[in-house]
Amino acid sequence: MSLQLGVIGTGAIGQDHIRRCSQTLQGCRVVAVTDIDPQQAARVLAGLTLEAEVYPDGHALIQAPEVQALLVTSWGPSHEEFVLAAIAAGKPVFCEKPLAVTAAGCRRIVEAEIAHGRRLVQVGFMRPYDAGYQALKAVVDSGRIGEPLMLHCAHRNPRVGENYKTDMAITDTLIHELDVLRWLLADDYVSVQVLFPRKTGKAHAQLRDPQIVLLETARGTRIDVEIFVNCQYGYDIQCEVVGESGIARLPEPPQVQLRNAASLSSAILMDWKERFIAAYDVELQAFVDGVRAGRVGGPSAWDGLAAAVAADACIEAQQSGAIVPISLPQRPALYA
């Protein structure tokens, strides 16, 4: 029987996940949705010609007997409340990033899951499911470039709205690198510094853009990540690993190479939905398969906490300009 899903939040990524659960993935169906704007939820169902119950709020949906597992795709500040309620109800929950907006919130989720005694939470960090990052990790792990010494990374968006503030470059954007680079290197961060280059004239008054985040890991690998969310030209994710005996780069998404009018070119994607479309499919299929097999895997609440601890330090570093230490508590046995 198909896994019956309830979805909280039917905005940009909520509707994309409802579409993929209804049209692309195997073994699941969306039976319930909710949004603080119920008309928005109803519009999404109508647009997908999908029949599902619209619940008045997330808590009613979590308690609904037909809902066997949850997707939390509402605004970040609401995630903690819904994930804790799902754990209390003993229902598996896929939560979009960030798991919670502070490390303290993630810690409460980790504690609730440990008290429950087994994993129920998968965090929506999709990059470890991306074929390009997996190929890059296979090269790093093979030892072909020796020990990784430095990483040069970039996370560029064409533009962002007026409500995107300087700290969101960390909590909304860099958070993906904070997760995936830890996974790529199998290492934890020990310090961070944030530098602000000359500001682009394309950013609104309250936003400092671009930013450079300098991380150091426990093994001494140095990482620089450029966050530039008004780069104009495209959605561009770069990662280069410099090792002792070679360099490995994240592959570009495949695009036709065009020779035309005396130039050689290939298109650059404009948004995250397209760039990581396959990774989102694979991560959610893994959640569905895991729940049906009685074993939730993938990025854990601990990974959500590790990213949030680093993010809190990055924000402190944005404000102080200093090198800020990052220290994770001891990893609990549940996440070994």
Residues of this chain that interact with ligand ISE (CB under 6 A) are: 157, 172-173, 176, 272
Our CA angle for 190, 195, 201, nearest 5°, is 145
Q: Confirm or reject binding of residue 299 to ligand NAI (CB under 6 A).
A: no
Whole-angstrom Cα Rg for the chain = 20
The one-letter amino acid at 27: G
CA torsion, ordered 30, 34, 37, 42, to nearest 10 deg = 40
Pairing assessment for the beta strands 28-34 and 53-54 based on DSSP bridges: parallel
Q: Confirm or reject binding of residue 132 to ligand NAI (CB under 6 A).
A: no
By the 8 A CB rule, do 234 and 270 touch?
yes
Among 37, 66, 147, 244, binds ligand NAI (CB under 6 A): 37
Q: How far is the CB of 276 from ligand ISE (least distance, A)?
A: 7
Among 96, 113, 130, 226, binds ligand NAI (CB under 6 A): 96
From the list ligand ISE, ligand NAI, none, partner contacted by residue 76 (C-beta under 5 to 8 A by kind): ligand NAI
Q: In what order do the strands lie in the sheet with 222-228?
A: 247-249, 236-243, 148-156, 222-228, 211-217, 189-195, 324-325
Q: Which stretch binds ligand NAI (CB under 6 A): 8-16, 206-214, 234-242, 300-308?
A: 8-16
Q: How far is the CB of 124 from ligand NAI (least distance, A)?
A: 5
From the list ligand ISE, ligand NAI, none, partner contacted by residue 173 (C-beta under 5 to 8 A by kind): ligand ISE
The kind and range of the H/E element at 225 are strand 222-228
The mark string for 264-293 relative to ligand NAI (x by CB under 6 A, - otherwise) is: --------x---------------------
Q: How far is the CB of 53 from ligand ISE (least distance, A)?
A: 28
- What is the residue-wise DSSP string for 285-310? HHHHHHHHTT---SS-HHHHHHHHHH
Tokens of 278: 């396959």
By the 8 A CB rule, do 96 and 13 touch?
yes
Q: Confirm or reject binding of residue 56 to ligand NAI (CB under 6 A).
A: no
Question: Residue number with the shortest CB distance to ligand NAI?
Answer: 11
Q: How far is the CB of 20 from ligand ISE (least distance, A)?
A: 15
Which CB atom, from 89 or from 114, has the smaller least distance to ligand NAI? 89
Q: Confirm or reject binding of residue 13 to ligand NAI (CB under 6 A).
A: yes
From the list ligand NAI, ligand ISE, none, partner contacted by residue 211 (C-beta under 5 to 8 A by kind): none
Residues 195 and 213: their CA atoms lie apart, in Å, by 6
Which CB atom, from 12 or from 258, has the smaller least distance to ligand NAI? 12
Q: How far is the CB of 4 from ligand ISE (least distance, A)?
A: 26
Tokens of 298: 């993938």
By the 8 A CB rule, do 69 and 291 touch?
yes
Q: Which residues bind ligand NAI (CB under 6 A)?
A: 8-14, 34-37, 40, 58, 73-76, 78, 96-97, 124, 126, 172, 272
